[in-house]
Amino acid sequence: MSASSFEELVAEASAAPVDGWDFSWLDGRATEQRPSWGYQRLLGDRLGAASAALDVQTGGGEVLAGAGNFPAAMAATESWPPNIAKATELLHPLGAVVVAARDEPPLPFADAAFDLVTSRHPATVWWAEIARVLRPGGTYFAQHVGPETVFELVEFFLGPLSEDIRRKRHPDVERAEAEAAGLDVVDRRLERLRMEFFDVGAVIYFLRKVIWTVPDFTVDRYRDRLRELHERIQREGPFIAHSTRVLIEARKPA
């Protein structure tokens, strides 16, 4: 592929909208293995058995909307303005209210307001707040991003990372944090999943959308490294990385 193709890939991926939390732009350009447990189906089962539920950091609301089975009181929080609008448009017709709230305490709800709190891939987890808004006997059910996720890509751009950073989001650490907030962890699973990036545009789109991966990422700042990555993919084939996912279920004692 010629040098201008690199520029074309960069221009295309730089212009693509990154709001919402749908990754279909990457279809045919990147793959990511899914966790075996099927979070959305398990979420639907739990929503069906709840009477009041809260989905924290709902993003564009796509996962919650697809799970269905909403209880009589269904709320979701979201902080990022483009996603607040998207989630409202998607979820209000389904009877779920979207509350604009920052990703920091306090959650804008009364103590013991919900018997189910859920979250998929929250950017931050405030265990004490989750415990506060749960009724005694209530459940927190979530899929978290796990430790060392996409580290092959992170280290390609940032160089080797410390052991401390590698241990962040480890399920053992999360269990200790949940227990410190008074919750009993009843299920906890970790899976490491294969990701493939077929062209540099897919990498750019991913890093623009998942802003935590390489926190200071801009195409201009990393243009040289991106060109090296482009040449490497041309030479050796897809860039392989691994994501990690944690399924966690915790109960507030009755």
Ligand X SMILES: C[S@@+](CC[C@H](N)C(=O)[O-])C[C@H]1O[C@@H](n2cnc3c(N)ncnc32)[C@H](O)[C@@H]1O
Question: Of 9, 14, 25, 18, whose CA–CA distance to 211 is shortest?
Answer: 18
Determine which residue in the list 40, 79, 168, 219 makes contact with ligand X, applying CB under 6 A. Answer: 79
Nearby residues of 120 by Cβ (< 8 Å), 6 or more positions away: 39, 43, 59, 63, 142, 143
Give the Cβ contact number of residue 166 at 10 Å: 13
Interaction between residue 88 and ligand X (CB under 6 A): no
Q: Which residue has the tokens 């992170």?
A: 154
Q: Which stretch binds ligand X (CB under 6 A): 40-48, 91-99, 120-128, 186-194?
A: 120-128
Contacts with ligand X, 16-55, as mask; x by CB under 6 A? -----x----------------------------------
Determine which residue in the list 123, 185, 190, 219 makes contact with ligand X, applying CB under 6 A. Answer: 123
- The nearest distance, CB 238 to ligand X, in angstroms, is 23
DSSP codes, 126-148: -HHHHHHHEEEEEEEEEEEE-TT
Interaction between residue 243 and ligand X (CB under 6 A): no
Interaction between residue 11 and ligand X (CB under 6 A): no
For the chain, the maximum distance between any two Cα atoms, rounded to a whole number of angstroms, is 64
Token pair, residue 225, equals 């490294």
Contacts with ligand X, 190-219, as mask; x by CB under 6 A? ---------------------x--------
Cα–Cα distance for residue pair 20/18, rounded to 1 Å: 7
Nearby residues of 18 by Cβ (< 8 Å), 6 or more positions away: 205, 208, 209
Q: Which stretch binds ligand X (CB under 6 A): 8-16, 44-52, 58-66, 161-169?
A: 58-66
Measured from the CB atom, is 67 or 233 closer to ligand X? Answer: 67
Interaction between residue 171 and ligand X (CB under 6 A): no
- The nearest distance, CB 17 to ligand X, in angstroms, is 11
Q: Which stretch binds ligand X (CB under 6 A): 59-67, 161-169, 193-201, 221-229?
A: 59-67
Cα–Cα distance for residue pair 72/57, rounded to 1 Å: 20
Determine which residue in the list 6, 62, 90, 204 makes contact with ligand X, applying CB under 6 A. Answer: 62
Q: Strand, helix or coil at 169?
A: coil
Determine which residue in the list 12, 32, 121, 177 makes contact with ligand X, applying CB under 6 A. Answer: 121
Cα–Cα distance for residue pair 97/59, rounded to 1 Å: 13
Interaction between residue 57 and ligand X (CB under 6 A): yes
Report the residue closest to ligand X, judged by CB: 59
Q: What are the start-end ranges of the E strands in 64-175?
A: 73-78, 97-100, 114-120, 134-145
With beta carbons less than 8 A apart as the criterion, state whether 10 and 166 touch: no
- The nearest distance, CB 34 to ligand X, in angstroms, is 12
Token pair, residue 112, equals 């013991």
What does the binding site for ligand X look like in residue numbers (CB under 6 A)? Answer: 21, 57-59, 62-63, 78-80, 83, 120-123, 211
